[in-house]
Copies of this chain bind each other. A is one copy, B any other.
Amino acid sequence: MACDRPEVTERLTAHGLRATPARCRILGLLLETHEHYTPEEMLDELRRRGEPMSIATLYQNLAKLSEAGVIGRFVGPDGVSRYDVVTEPHHHLVCRVCGRMVDVRVKGPLEDLAPEPIFAEDAGELARWRVKGAKVEFSGVCPDCQLHLHRKEQRIA
């Protein structure tokens, strides 16, 4: 069974995975939207598109895909898993109102950042860590929520 788009099939087979219907739908959705769905959200969106699948199949394939490195996986601030079409190390910009997030790069001197202790007694130990990387989570308000806040303010005023 081949996927609708050859791009999807290639990305799966390149990682040694068969292009099954469930995997094609999952990867196709992520490639198309760049969203960071939870399994439940993904199920809803697939159902909405007339491409439903069982919850077990979804979880099983999300595990396979992320273990194979086809998609990225991380845990959101609510403790629920989310999946990302970007697998390389990158950063996120998160909306403080609705929680939506966008994949971003960092423009600026990320290497110049260095951790220093909050507690004086940690200074000795901290010096003996080997620091290897840094991941930034930007937060702010997305365009949609700026509009909604506006409307709310107008309604109150």
Contacts and interface: CB of A to CB of B under 8 A. Distances in A.
A129 B134 contact: no
Contacts of A53: none
B119 A34 contact: yes
Interface residues of A, number: 52
Interface string A115-141: 111110010011011111111111111
B119 A103 contact: yes
Given A80-B79, A125-B102, A140-B133, A109 B107 contact: no
Contacts of A132: 96, 139-141
A115 B138 contact: yes
A90 B114 contact: no
Contact of A105 (B96, B109, B118, B134): B118
Interface of A: 34, 74-81, 86, 90-91, 93, 95-96, 102-110, 112-119, 122, 125-126, 128-143, 146
